Amino acid sequence: METEKYDYSPGLHKLLTLKVAGASKLTDVTAFKNFTDSILATYGLEEVGFSKHVFENNSFTAAVCLKESHICIHTWPEFGQLTLDVYLCNYMQDNAPKVRLVAQDYIDYFDAEILKDIEVNR
């Protein structure tokens, strides 16, 4: 049986490690969620679930499950760092430009320096 080849790519997955000068936003999961809600409204993304865990030092991990995929964050205030991944897929349109805009909005929100920036075309 011959294998079919497809030009289709489900979406762009952007993985970031960011350095943040102040720890306040790295310990405020509520502010992160509020900012994320504004991003979802701005870009027309649909949340289907949200989960978080706040650690003893108020660092947090959070996952926003989207109809289009997900946004996840893990913070390390003791190191002034966070990891963030943004993945948006859509079978009807290319969401790669939107992924880059969303990622840049988070970089701006955290006033962060990019330590690692990886893009994976799925």
State pLDDT tens for residues 16-64: 999 999 999 999 999 999 999 999 999 999 999 999 999 999 999 999 9
Residue 15: enclosing H or E segment and its boundaries?
A: strand 11-20
> Residue type for 51, please?
S
* Annotated catalytic residue, options 9, 65, 69, 72: 69
Give the span between the Cα atoms of 115 and 39, in whole angstroms: 23
CA-derived radius of gyration, the chain:
15
Q: How would residue 72 be classed by pLDDT, with cut points 50, 70 and 90?
A: very high
Q: Is 9 a catalytic residue?
A: no
SS3 73: strand
pLDDT tens readout for residues 73-122: 999 999 999 999 999 987 677 889 999 999 999 999 999 999 999 999 87
In terms of CATH architecture, what is 11-121? 4-Layer Sandwich (3.60)
Which pLDDT score, from 0 to 100, does residue 89 have? 86
- DSSP-based three-state secondary structure for 55: coil
Residue 6 neighbours by CB under 8 Å, 6+ apart: none
Nearest of 92, 91, 63 to residue 75 by alpha carbon: 63
**Does pTM top 0.85 for this prediction?**
yes
Query: Measuring CA to CA, how many Å separate 117 from each of 24, 73, 86?
Result: 23, 14, 11
Which tokens go with 73?
């964050």
